[in-house]
Amino acid sequence: MNENGKRSERFLGRLMGAGGLLGRLAMAFMVVSITYDVILRYVFVAPTHWALEVNTFLLAFLCVLPAGDVLRGGTMIRITFFYDRFRPAVKNRLELLRVAAGLFFCAIMIWKGTGMAWKAWLHNDRMSTSLGTPLVIPYLFLPIGFMLLALQYLSHATGKLRKSPNPPQAQYSSDGRPEVKQQI
């Protein structure tokens, strides 16, 4: 890999790590704010006006922004019952198919999410709650999060394409039998 490739890989790693860190911070904030709201609601009979709305948007945030970091770390849930039984060449082709399907889905979500955010921006759409949150904010989570995920899929695909999908060919001796090198 050349110097530019290494630099872009480091940048992508930092970008995905930032998405993961933001996801962890959002989760911690949700735990604190929901606990706070429950205590106020059931102990003091004075619930907050903002906790439900903010945590609903944070849940949407958690579904998309850390996805690239999850893909990068390989920590997503995978069912590999059949996959583990395939030969390496078939596994590599299936990985490329998975990347292509992921990129296709990301492209659709970026396209539609951007359209939703743009319409919400043009019409100044807001939640009909006491906070009146502009809907463009949660709608922007979709294109941003799926753009990060698409970048990670592209990085994964280029890494797979750099590797040879076929195992190296055996070397044959002059009598037509495969050469075996002894390793100690």
Q: Is 134 helix (H, G, I), strand (E, B) or coil?
A: strand
Mean of pLDDT values over 30-42 = 94
Nearest to 11 by CA among 182, 147, 105, 152: 152
Q: How confident is the model at residue 177 (pLDDT cuts 50, 70, 90)?
A: low
Question: How many residues in the chain?
Answer: 184
pLDDT at residue 149, rounded to an integer? 93
pLDDT by residue (tens digit) across 66-116? Answer: 988 888 888 888 888 888 888 988 888 888 899 999 999 999 999 999 999
Q: Is the pLDDT score of 166 beyond 60? A: no
pLDDT at residue 106, rounded to an integer? 96
pLDDT by residue (tens digit) across 115-153? Answer: 999 999 999 999 888 888 899 999 999 999 999 999 999
pTM: 0.77
Q: Is the pLDDT score of 13 beyond 60? A: yes
**Cβ contact 133:60 at 8 Å:** no
